[in-house]
Amino acid sequence: LSPIEYSEELATELDRHYLGISKTAKVQRRRMVKRIDDQPIQIQRSAVPLKLAKGTLLADETAQPYPGGTLAELYDAGLIPAGANVVVVEEAHARMPNTRERQLLEMAVTGPVWDIVRTFKVDGVAVEVSRVIAPTARIVLVYETDLS
């Protein structure tokens, strides 16, 4: 995996499940290793329905790294209109990394990684799904629930 790889592909079963698209739908696939202070912090593989991404900055690998991350990209690509209800759903579990993930993340010591599926929904419609792999020792998950 080079630092950034983009391709147009048929949607995988995971893409179809989270994006609610058909078996014949294509996605803009984006794969990258994100770094902070030159240290790999996470592997991110995302998919945006091609009909939404085509012709936007979401299909332009030279736009990476994008200031503000995925949320800013979705706004700037026009997928989040003013006043839209935006929800991010994350499903996280810990597991041991495979050899390639350990290499990409430059993990000297084998330990668990977070395997997170993150879905961005705009007015109830999923517009992007990402699979994020990150060493548990480098990432803290923080959750806040307002029950008022």
pLDDT at position 139 is: 85
Per-position pLDDT tens, the chain of length 148: 557 899 999 999 999 999 999 999 999 999 999 888 888 999 999 999 999 999 999 999 888 888 888 889 999 999 999 999 999 999 999 999 999 999 999 998 889 999 999 999 999 999 999 999 999 988 888 888 777 7
**Residues with Cβ within 8 Å of residue 35, at least 6 apart in sequence:** 41
Q: How far apart are CA 130 and CA 148, in angstroms?
A: 30
Q: Where are the beta strands (DSSP E) in 17-135?
A: 26-36, 39-49, 86-95, 113-122, 125-135
81 exposure class (CB count in 10 Å sphere: 0-12, 13-18, 19+): exposed
Residue 40 sits at φ, ψ, to 5 deg, of -65, 125
65-89 tens-digit pLDDT: 888 888 899 999 999 999 999 999 9
**pTM of the model as a whole:** 0.87
